Amino acid sequence: MSAALFDSALYGKLVPTGEVGRLFTDSAEVRAMMIVEGALARVQGAAGLIPEVSAKAIHRASLELQLDPAGLAEATGQNGVPVPALVSAFRELMQAPEHAQYVHFGATSQDVTDTALMLRLRQVLGHYETALDRVIAALAAQAEAHAETPMAARTYLQHATPTSFGALAAAWGWPLLELREELAALKTGLWVSLSGAAGTASALGPDPSALRAELAQALNLEDPGRSWHTDRTPILRLGAWIARITGALAKLGEDLTLLAASETREVTLGGTGASSTMPQKQNPVAPSVLTMLGTHAGGLAQTLTTAGRQRHQRDGAAWFTEWMVLPQLCLAGAAALETAGPLLEGLAPRTEAMAATLAGAKGALAAEALSFALAREMPRPEAQAAMKALAREAAESGADLVALAAERHPGITPADFTPEALLGTAPAEARGFARAARIPPAAGG
């Protein structure tokens, strides 16, 4: 146990974050800030704001120097922000004061931390995209393969009507597909920041707009065309998006936990979850992790919303809050995707158990269909009342509802009321998702 499970040597593998984990280390952050300082010097040199030779020296140094995060800790604790210490250490390590003086020229700490964050978020989104595609592909495969595999649909955890496992896979997948399509907009929302101490770029030369545009191009980020120190739109958009990702996967986790329950066992999850004292048990560990991540991420996303309320031209408390929760939120999203991918690839519906559930329900899931059939013989309210009575009788006597209905109403043909006959649009829902999942998102996504 560390502050968060993600960093724990003991628990880390319970919440695997893949490549995203490496982006939220101290060294990755320091590296990203140095890249920003280097690129800034380069564009300032090209613009004649600082000597070209100094710019080159700084840029080169930004790629070569190694700064130890721990060495910046004392000053970061004092200043609240690591940039002053980083700039100072950078300058010293360069051992060329005539060039080093141009490091961080006219920028403010937030320009550096925000731009460095955006650089890492671009990578985060790249990894998310890959992981999300894997999850969607796994769901599409399940949807396709089981488009016509009957199972009980459940509302309020009660048997409702038949559906197919493929339709359930589609239901898991659609929200993710929506989120996948929104990725393009998130990417173009990764902005460069360059507007100085209070957003007015007053120490950034005669044409700060052009400079910002150059920096954006150098770092392959978007130029928002303005200052955005207190406008946390890119962060808030991402936070809400991740909360929806983890929420969608938490539903998957909950559904799988329920379907794996001892009384149901309609899915096989693969071999995890030993108990320390009960030899027979297999716990749905990965689904439980998904549920947990959804809950945790939901809380973090709300705190992030609060952090978006930057007073005046910068707010220390809001800023620190963002630093506290955004990494965890990104890691939670990553862990959810990294957990869901293999889980879905190893997931197998137990079709015989699904069939047994349907059989065991003794026609109860056909009740709606039977009531519509009866409504062809009598007014609909009467048909509904008749079915209610039949359902009660069947439940009490243990009789099969379809058989009972056929006995009482000769117009009823049992073969029309098998689960397979009552799938409705479930197969089409499943195949529709599989098809949509195969369409690549529009350019940029």
Residues with catalytic roles: 275, 314
Q: What is the smallest separation between the CB atom of 60 and a second copy, expressed in angstroms?
A: 19
CB of 365 closer than 8 Å to CB of 358: yes
**DSSP 3-state assignment of 268?**
strand
User: Does the footprint of a second copy cover residue 11 (CB under 8 A)?
Assistant: yes
- 362 closest CA partner among 313, 307, 319, 400: 400
268 to 307: interface string for a second copy, x by CB under 8 A? ----xxxxxxxxxxxxxx-xxx-xx-xxx-xxxxxx-xxx
Q: What is the smallest separation between the CB atom of 296 and a second copy, expressed in angstroms?
A: 5
User: Does the footprint of a second copy cover residue 4 (CB under 8 A)?
Assistant: yes
Report DSSP letters for 274-302, one per residue.
Answer: --SS-TT----HHHHHHHHHHHHHHHHHH
Q: Measured between alpha carbons, how far is 288 from 270 in angstroms, rounded to an integer?
A: 14
Number of residues assigned to the chain: 445
The type of residue at 52 is: E
Q: Measured between alpha carbons, how far is 374 from 363 in angstroms, rounded to an integer?
A: 15
Sequence-distant (6+) residues with CB within 8 A of 263 are: none
Q: Measured between alpha carbons, how far is 119 from 239 in angstroms, rounded to an integer?
A: 16
Find the binding residues for a second copy in span 358-377 (CB under 8 A). 361, 364-365, 367-369, 371-372, 375
Among 38, 45, 166, 327, binds a second copy (CB under 8 A): 327
Find the binding residues for a second copy in span 103-132 (CB under 8 A). 104-109, 112
Identify which of residues 220 and 233 has a Cβ nearer to a second copy in the complex: 233
User: Does the footprint of a second copy cover residue 434 (CB under 8 A)?
Assistant: no
Identify which of residues 46 and 420 has a Cβ nearer to a second copy in the complex: 420
Q: What is the DSSP letter of 440?
A: P
Among 58, 131, 426, 434, binds a second copy (CB under 8 A): 426
Identify which of residues 1 and 443 has a Cβ nearer to a second copy in the complex: 1
Among 380, 393, 408, 438, binds a second copy (CB under 8 A): 380
Find the binding residues for a second copy in span 46-85 (CB under 8 A). 69-70, 72-74, 76-84
Count of positions on this chain that bind a second copy (CB under 8 A): 188
Identify which of residues 143 and 344 has a Cβ nearer to a second copy in the complex: 143
- Per residue in 7-45, is it b (16+ CB within 10 Å) or e — as a string? beeeeeebbbbbebbebbeeebbbbbbbbbbbbbbbbbb
Q: Measured between alpha carbons, how far is 272 from 257 in angstroms, rounded to an integer?
A: 13
200 to 239: interface string for a second copy, x by CB under 8 A? xxxxx---xx---------------xxxxxxxxx--xx--
* Strand partners of residue 267: 349
Among 64, 320, 407, 411, binds a second copy (CB under 8 A): 320
- 118 closest CA partner among 39, 54, 14: 39
134 to 173: interface string for a second copy, x by CB under 8 A? ------------------xxxxxxxxxxxx---xx-xx--
Q: What is the smallest separation between the CB atom of 74 and a second copy, expressed in angstroms?
A: 6
